[in-house]
Amino acid sequence: MEMDSDKLIFRLKKQYNAIEIPGELNERVDSAMNGAGVHPGAGLRHGRGFMRALRGTAIGAAALAAAFIGVVNVSPSAARAMQDVPVLGQISEFLSFRSFDDEQYGVEAHLTIPEISGMENETAQINLNRAVNEYVDSLIVLHNDDVATAKKAYIEDPELMEESETVHISMTNICTVLTDNDEVFSMRLTTDIVMAGAQELYKCFTVDKRTGEVISLGELFRENSDYAEVLTGIVARQMVERAAEDEGVCYFAEEEGFEGVSQVQNFYITDAGTLVLCFDEYEIAPGYMGAQTFEIPTEEIEDILFGGLLK
């Protein structure tokens, strides 16, 4: 009986997690945040000069959107993000946003691209913005591929064109600042891709404000250290612990899921200087578990640390 209930709950939970997320959700959350008393122009009253720079740059034609990368836009989501700093976490720097909006053949992309300015270490700022742009460019390539595929399908079957108002694929992203202190700036771009199902892609960026370098995981550790293996061991152990603690927790078995921590693993550093490893949805666990993060206790890796960012 106990077992049967477990199975039943597990099955219901799977169904629950299969509830499709409509593309409109982001818009509705945005509009609620806008409606909560923060109005356009609030920034100006507080002397935020950059609001002025945004005036009159509204962009219309979607077909030309690709050409506008690099232009500051006043799309509702970008404007929201600028007025409503709460969504960005505690930051000392200025964040402004460019946006990429394109909609063709039922494929749409609405990307908000953060641009950091006012960081004391200018090299850090340049490097960070460059890394973000390279990543966003790769998303745009993905989007363009999807558009090309959809276009081809329409050419082959013109009847599809009549239904072209139906969005088949939509891509949106959101920026969250995770840590911002004297030494470290970590942020995450979350990209939602909605097709038949929904998937979230995460990309974290961390810049060492002392050196100005955007850091990769390996740079936190001594050269020639076996950091990937050490981290793999810690993550594997935490997975077992979590699964033992809560029967609802489930990870893919090793051969099909967790293949170990890689050199390009997503990570960020907390304000306290702790390393957090991030895995995408579906990467190591069934969809209902969502994206997974693992905090790595610094004392377990102190033998191989390098650079002093981790505490």
Query: Residues 57 to 96: which contact other proteins by CB under 8 A?
Result: 83-90
Question: Helix crossing, 24-35 with 76-83: angle to 10°?
Answer: 40
**Count of residues of this chain found to bind other proteins when the rule CB under 8 A is applied:** 46
- The label of the residue with tokens 């050419």 reads 155
Of 7-15, 66-74, 164-172, 293-301: span binding other proteins (CB under 8 A): 7-15
Tokens of 26: 């982001």
For residue 145, the minimal CB distance to other proteins (Å) is 25
Alpha helices (H) in the chain, listed in sequence order: 2-17, 24-35, 42-45, 49-54, 76-83, 122-156, 159-162, 227-245
Please report whether residue 32 would count as binding other proteins according to CB under 8 A: yes
Rg, Å, the chain Cα set: 22
For residue 218, the minimal CB distance to other proteins (Å) is 28
Nearest to other proteins of 164, 199 (CB atom) = 199
Please report whether residue 253 would count as binding other proteins according to CB under 8 A: no
Of 42-50, 64-72, 99-107, 160-168: span binding other proteins (CB under 8 A): 42-50
Of 26-34, 134-142, 164-172, 225-233: span binding other proteins (CB under 8 A): 26-34
Please report whether residue 161 would count as binding other proteins according to CB under 8 A: no
Of 3-11, 119-127, 233-241, 265-273: span binding other proteins (CB under 8 A): 3-11
Cβ-Cβ contacts under 8 Å for 272 (sequence gap 6 or more)? 311
String of contacts with other proteins for each residue 107-126, x by CB under 8 A: --------------------
For residue 149, the minimal CB distance to other proteins (Å) is 23
Contacts 24+ apart (CB under 8 A), 232-239: 232/258, 232/260, 232/261, 234/294, 234/296, 234/297, 234/300, 234/301, 235/261, 235/277, 235/294, 235/296, 238/294, 239/284
Cβ-Cβ contacts under 8 Å for 287 (sequence gap 6 or more)? 17, 18, 197, 281
What is the dihedral sign for C-alpha 78, 192, 11, 240? negative
Tokens of 247: 């029967």
Among 176, 181, 270, 274, binds other proteins (CB under 8 A): 176
Q: Which residues bind other proteins (CB under 8 A)?
A: 1, 4-5, 8-9, 11-13, 15-19, 21-22, 24-26, 28-29, 31-33, 35-38, 42-43, 46, 48, 83-90, 174, 176, 190, 198, 246, 248-249
